[in-house]
Amino acid sequence: MNLIETITDLIGFKSVTGNSSEIDNCLHYIYDKATKFGADVNIYRFEDASPVIMATNTYAQNFDVLILGHIDVVPADENMFKPIIKENKMFGRGTLDMKSFAAVALNSLEYVIKNKLDLKFGFVLSTDEETGSKSTKAFLEKFPNISAKIVLDNDVGGDITKIVARCKNPVFVKLISKGKAAHGSTPWNGIDANENLFQTWQNIRKFYPYYSIDTNEPTDKWIDTVHFATINGGGVSNIIADSACALLDFRLTENSSVDNLCITLDKCMENQVGYEIVSASTPVVMDENNKYIRAYKEYAQSILGKTIDFEYIGGATDSREFAQKGSIVIMHSGTGDGMHANNEYVDLTSVEQIAKIQIGFLEKLANQKI
Taking only the tens place, the pLDDT of each residue in 215-233 is 878 989 999 999 999 999 9
167: which strand partners?
284, 313
Strand pairing category for 89-91 and 169-178: unpaired
- The whole-angstrom separation of Cα 250 and Cα 188 is 34
* Distance set, CA 344 to CA 92, 145, 264, 337, 347 (Å): 6, 37, 38, 6, 10
Q: d(Cα 310, Cα 293) in Å, to the nearest integer?
A: 10
Average pLDDT over residues 75-103: 97
Query: What angle do the packed helices 3-11 and 348-366 form, to 10 degrees?
Result: 120
Question: What does the pLDDT average to over 307-334?
Answer: 92
Closest CA to 339 of 92, 113, 22: 92
Average pLDDT, the chain: 96
DSSP conformation class of 321: H
Judge whether residue 308 has pLDDT over 90. Answer: yes
Q: What one-character DSSP code corresponds to residue 49? A: S
In the chain, what is the greatest distance between 2 CA atoms, to the nearest angstrom? Answer: 79
Half-sphere exposure for 11 (CA within 13 Å, toward CB): 29
Helix (H/G/I), strand (E/B), else coil: 95: helix
Lowest mean pLDDT: which of 133-137, 238-242, 247-251? 133-137
**pLDDT value for 82:** 97
What confidence score (pLDDT) does residue 85 get? 98
Strands 147-153 and 328-332: parallel
Task: Give the helix/strand (H/E) hosting 296.
Answer: helix 291-304
CA end-to-end distance (rounded Å), the chain: 28
Which of 151-160, 170-179, 186-195 is least confident? 151-160
Output the DSSP codes for 160-226.
TTEEEEEE-EEEEEEEEEE-B--BTT-GGGSB-HHHHHHHHHHHHHTTS----TTSPPPS---S-EE
Produce one character per residue of 40-63: b if its CB has 16 or more CB atoms within 10 Å, e if not.
ebebeeeeebbbbbbbbbeeeeeb
**With the C-alpha atoms ordered 183, 185, 186, 192, is the resulting torsion angle positive or negative?**
positive
pTM here is 0.88
